[in-house]
């Protein structure tokens, strides 16, 4: 199917989003022509008659295609938003996964308003924003995309006159031209500050505006389902939304994350928290212009105002004098004065602690509660339950730290740090990393009885010990001054044993992050295992059980429980979707994650500890992506427990949160489904998966087939020839190296570029290899089990989620394109051997998914199918261009040709364009 046929078919079947796309393409054609670029304007695909050959495609055309795929993504997102609005206009419970239908399901299940309101206060949602080595879009480009999206939405406004719409259309042309003239790829490697600025945009400009949208939709859904919304407000029955951040704290294989970077990140986060809060308080001042003097206010409010004026001196007095006879405004103005920031021209510009300023956000929250109570006494219930709650929710969500910074490091790095500390203390045996577990534990037990450090602060240490100590001392200094809620936890990558976790206590002791209580040492920052590989997930129950039994852990969790007023001690456990997939393929990864969470929850229950899972998910199916509401429903019984923490990575952040309406939708999915699962799990009996034996067999079988292929002789040679991994490794699209230590091995390669490279060549092998053979084995050896699995696909949440994701990935796999990349492998025997293995397995997977799902994909996933059809019509020429460039570039590199750099830039443009077309980079 040629370009115009594909576009015509898609537009006919799916309608409006693709009419919007046609409008954008014609606008782009118009503005390019006006600016003297008629030749490239004439090459815009889908609306131009000419189709270019691979030889005719220049870097300009590749840039054009990349931009066009971004426009496709944009109109599809907007189309989904409009479709949801149309459904909800008919009935608020008509969109799957949102508040309306979830609360309706709970009411239909017999739950009372009180049960739902109580449970809402227990729901905790925490997206953790991360940057990764395959984020292909510059922040500047993302900004231009956001502007264009808002203009596209404005065209939906039926109140606009023709002239006003003409002006919007004019601005769309300008936005498109700005995008066209802005470089799409990183020519210089971005630094961590670039990544932090991007994340700060979401934390300061998007999420604070999203919070009231989510809350308003919750109130509307509650009212729709017969719940008194005044009860929701009076009981403050809202889910808790907070944010985490890895940029500036994730140092696993990232040498650029120094202690100075972490220090600056913490300060930037704190300053921007005040930017957000001050903005909300200023708006609240405008909205509380009620005529009531201080003498008419409650005694509690009068006393607090006088106290605040005394605390803040001349600045406070000036603020108090500003709105005489409007006590609520005066009170809020004093809150603004007490924020520890300096302002210039009405904007917070730098941190500044003075006598009388707030230290912790709880102090501000107390003043807001007093304001709310005073407004209720005054009779302004609507303002107390709307405007004031909006500010309270922002303070709850962002505190004075904006997002909690996780500090992540690899267990092997910690081992080296301890060895160097032992060397500095002149210990006899310093080979901590190679000691057997029994000896490690004996040493750690002995050391953790004492508060005595190994060395003093000025001691000369080895590089790993210096890096850890400098980082931990930054954390110690910052938390001593501002409290510990600015730090999420110390996360230990590749946790292989309980000693890997206890080792962090020892390092924390060295930096002054522990203290001695009456019963012994406690650690100020929680320590979190990251179980990444399948083996680590299997061993996780033993590791966690031993860790929770350790007295230092128990004391630390008890201290944290008291500090944060938790119902019970809470231990976070991070589970990794990427490395478990890289280890054993999609089925083995998903089943082992399910098993691990079920069993780890049991361990927590046996110890009286709530386990809070932190899901290390990425943007592709291989790395845990999938529809949010189905993901939560697919989790084991009571595993989420109303509390979902998960990573949002790279381009996924832009896709989900670039505009407030879509951002609100994605967070609402998290919160609404967490509430539903929390209450339904409480009302049902805990049991393991009913098809556990079949799933175990499938997982093991698929893992065996996957491992057999990976262990075939010369697999690495094939992989490096048949994917653009070498180009990805030299790309400048993220601050983090693609490899952990620089070794040219599969083990050292990060899971993200591993998945990215298989997506670029359209094989998507990581999300289906082994599935076809495993299902084939099951059908032959256990036909009853095969039939049972097919039946379960219709109703079982876990099975449906996993197999639907595999189906989605298969739909994006194109063997004709993949074979173009296979042909790049120079050794014929290696090339043909792996070609047969991969294509045979793909054929099997497609066959069994057709059998399992009964209907062809164009029927069961119409939107997905036709979107892929449209994209494929343009992507083939891009893939052909990339293959030709890879061939040339590899030859040039080998010959040290001076043209290598130029070819490399062209190659990176194709990587960027293909990732835009595929909608993810890994």
Which residues carry out catalysis? 132, 582
Taken in order 636, 642, 643, 648, the sign of the CA dihedral is positive
Residue 670: how many other CB atoms lie within 10 Å: 24
Nearest to 244 by CA among 193, 194, 202: 202
Are 57 and 881 spatial neighbours (Cβ–Cβ below 8 Å)? yes
Nearest to 488 by CA among 243, 822, 691: 243
Cα distance between residue 548 and residue 498, in whole Å: 10
Cα distance between residue 137 and residue 905, in whole Å: 15
Beta strand pairing call for 404-410 and 527-531: unpaired
Residue 564: how many other CB atoms lie within 10 Å: 10
Tell me how far CA of residue 195 lies from CA of 399, 490, 735, 919, in angstroms.
22, 21, 8, 20
User: How would DSSP label each residue in 316-331?
Assistant: HHHHHHHTTTBHHHHH
User: How would DSSP label each residue in 710-738?
Assistant: HTSTTHHHHHHHHS-HHHHHH--S-SS-S
Cα distance between residue 581 and residue 104, in whole Å: 36
Cα distance between residue 392 and residue 372, in whole Å: 10
Cα distance between residue 40 and residue 64, in whole Å: 8
Instruction: List alpha helices for 91-109, DSSP H.
Output: 99-108
Are 737 and 752 spatial neighbours (Cβ–Cβ below 8 Å)? no
| Cα diameter, the chain | 92
Residues forming a β-bridge with 405: 245, 487
Contacts of 747 (CB under 8 A, 6+ apart): none
Cα distance between residue 786 and residue 778, in whole Å: 6
Phi then psi for 684, rounded to 5 degrees?
A: -125, 165
Nearest to 239 by CA among 125, 97, 372: 125
Cα distance between residue 595 and residue 590, in whole Å: 9
Nearest to 44 by CA among 59, 20, 21, 61: 61
Residue 439: how many other CB atoms lie within 10 Å: 14
CA 140, chain centre distance (Å): 20
Cα distance between residue 257 and residue 377, in whole Å: 51
Cα distance between residue 443 and residue 620, in whole Å: 42
Tell me how far CA of residue 435 lies from CA of 229, 501, 543, 879, in angstroms.
60, 15, 18, 50
Are 238 and 213 spatial neighbours (Cβ–Cβ below 8 Å)? no
Cα distance between residue 664 and residue 732, in whole Å: 32
Residue 670: how many CA atoms within 13 Å on its side-chain side?
23
Cα distance between residue 412 and residue 423, in whole Å: 17
Two structure tokens written together for 41: 């304007």
Are 435 and 277 spatial neighbours (Cβ–Cβ below 8 Å)? no
Helix (H) or strand (E) holding 610: strand 610-616
**In the chain, what are the helix, strand and coil shares in percent, each to the nearest 5?**
65, 10, 25
Cα distance between residue 273 and residue 286, in whole Å: 20
Are 91 and 205 spatial neighbours (Cβ–Cβ below 8 Å)? no
């Amino acid at each position: 199917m040629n370009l115009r046929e594909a576009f015509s078919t898609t537009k006919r079947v799916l309608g409006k989003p693709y009419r919007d796309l046609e409008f954008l393409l014609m606008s782009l054609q118009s503005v390019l022509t006006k600016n003297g670029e008629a030749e490239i304007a004439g090459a815009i695909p889908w609306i131009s008659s000419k189709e270019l050959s691979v030889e005719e495609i220049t870097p300009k055309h590749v840039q054009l295609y990349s931009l066009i795929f971004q426009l496709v993504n944009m109109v599809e997102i907007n189309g989904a938003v409009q479709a949801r609005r149309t459904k909800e206009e008919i009935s608020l419970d008509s969109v799957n996964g949102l508040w309306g239908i979830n609360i309706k399901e709970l009411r239909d299940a017999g739950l009372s308003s009180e049960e739902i309101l109580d449970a809402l206060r227990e729901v905790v949602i925490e997206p953790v924003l991360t940057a990764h080595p395959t984020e292909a879009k510059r922040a500047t480009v993302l900004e231009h995309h956001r502007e264009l999206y808002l203009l596209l939405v404005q065209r939906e406004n039926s109140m606009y006159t023709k002239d006003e719409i003409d002006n919007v259309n004019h601005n769309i042309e300008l936005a498109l031209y700005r995008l066209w003239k802005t470089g799409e790829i990183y020519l210089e490697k971005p630094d961590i500050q670039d990544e932090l600025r991007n994340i700060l945009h979401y934390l300061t400009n998007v999420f604070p505006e999203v919070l009231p949208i989510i809350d308003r939709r919750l109130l509307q859904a509650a009212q729709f389902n017969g719940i008194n919304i005044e009860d929701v407000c009076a009981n403050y029955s809202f889910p808790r939304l907070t944010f985490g951040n890895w940029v500036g704290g994730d140092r696993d294989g990232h040498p650029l994350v120094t202690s100075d970077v972490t220090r600056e990140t913490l300060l930037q986060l704190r300053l921007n928290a005040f930017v957000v809060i001050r903005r909300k308080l200023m708006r609240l001042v405008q909205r509380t212009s009620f005529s009531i003097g201080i003498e008419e206010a409650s005694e509690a409010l009068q006393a607090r105002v006088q106290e605040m004026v005394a605390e803040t001196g001349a600045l406070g007095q000036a603020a108090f004098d500003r709105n005489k006879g409007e006590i609520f405004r005066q009170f809020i103005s004093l809150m603004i004065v007490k924020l520890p920031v300096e302002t210039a021209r009405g904007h917070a510009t730098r941190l500044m602690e003075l006598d009388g300023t707030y230290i912790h956000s709880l102090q501000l929250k107390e003043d807001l509660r007093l304001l709310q109570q005073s407004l209720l006494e005054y009779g302004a219930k609507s303002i107390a339950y709307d405007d004031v709650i909006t500010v309270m929710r922002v303070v709850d969500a962002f505190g004075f730290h904006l997002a909690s910074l996780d500090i992540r490091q690899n267990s092997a790095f910690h081992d080296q740090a301890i060895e160097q500390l032992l060397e500095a203390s002149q210990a006899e045996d310093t080979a901590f990393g190679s000691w057997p577990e029994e000896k490690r534990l004996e040493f750690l037990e002995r050391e953790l009885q004492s508060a005595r450090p190994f060395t003093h602060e000025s001691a000369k240490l080895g590089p790993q010990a210096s890096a850890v100590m400098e980082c931990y001392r930054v954390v110690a200094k910052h938390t001593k001054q501002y409290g510990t809620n600015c730090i999420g936890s110390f996360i230990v990558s590749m946790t292989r044993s309980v000693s890997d976790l206890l080792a962090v206590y020892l390092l924390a002791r060295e930096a002054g992050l522990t203290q001695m209580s009456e019963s012994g040492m406690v650690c100020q920052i929680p320590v979190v295992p990251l179980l990444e590989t399948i083996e680590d997930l299997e061993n996780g129950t033993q590791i966690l059980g031993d860790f929770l039994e350790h007295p230092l852990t128990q004391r630390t969790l008890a201290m944290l429980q008291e500090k944060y007023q938790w119902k019970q001690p809470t231990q976070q456990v991070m589970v990794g979707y990427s490395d478990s997939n890289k280890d054993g393929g999609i089925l083995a990864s998903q089943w082992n994650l399910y098993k691990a969470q079920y069993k780890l929850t049991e361990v927590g229950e046996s110890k009286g500890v709530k386990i809070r899972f932190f899901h290390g998910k990425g943007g592709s199916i291989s790395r845990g992506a999938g529809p949010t509401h189905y993901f939560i429903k697919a989790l084991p019984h009571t595993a989420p427990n109303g509390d979902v923490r998960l990573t949002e990575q790279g381009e996924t952040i832009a896709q989900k949160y670039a505009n407030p309406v879509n951002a609100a939708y994605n967070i609402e999915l998290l919160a609404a489904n967490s509430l539903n699962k929390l209450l339904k799990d409480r009302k049902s009996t805990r049991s393991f998966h009913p098809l556990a034996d079949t799933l175990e067999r499938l997982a093991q079988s698929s893992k065996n087939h996957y491992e057999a292929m990976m262990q075939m002789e010369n697999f690495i040679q094939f992989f490096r020839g048949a994917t653009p991994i070498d180009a990805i490794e030299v790309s400048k699209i993220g601050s983090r190296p693609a490899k952990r230590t620089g070794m040219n091995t599969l083990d050292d390669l990060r899971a993200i570029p591993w998945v990215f490279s298989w997506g670029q060549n359209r094989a998507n092998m990581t999300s289906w290899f082994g599935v076809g053979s495993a299902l084939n084995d099951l059908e032959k050896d256990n036909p009853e089990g095969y039939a049972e699995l097919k039946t379960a696909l219709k109703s079982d949440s876990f099975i449906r989620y996993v197999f639907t994701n595999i189906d989605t990935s298969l739909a994006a796999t194109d063997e004709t394109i993949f074979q173009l990349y296979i042909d790049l492998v120079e050794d014929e025997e290696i090339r043909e051997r792996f070609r047969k293995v991969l294509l045979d397995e793909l054929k099997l997977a497609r066959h069994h998914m057709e059998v399992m799902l009964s209907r062809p994909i164009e029927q069961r996933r119409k939107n997905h199918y036709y979107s892929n059809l449209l994209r494929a019509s343009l992507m083939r020429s891009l893939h052909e261009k990339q293959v030709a460039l890879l061939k040339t570039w590899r030859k040039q590199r080998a010959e040290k040709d001076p043209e290598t750099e130029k070819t490399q830039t062209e190659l990176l443009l194709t990587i960027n364009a293909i990732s835009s077309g595929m909608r993810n980079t890994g």
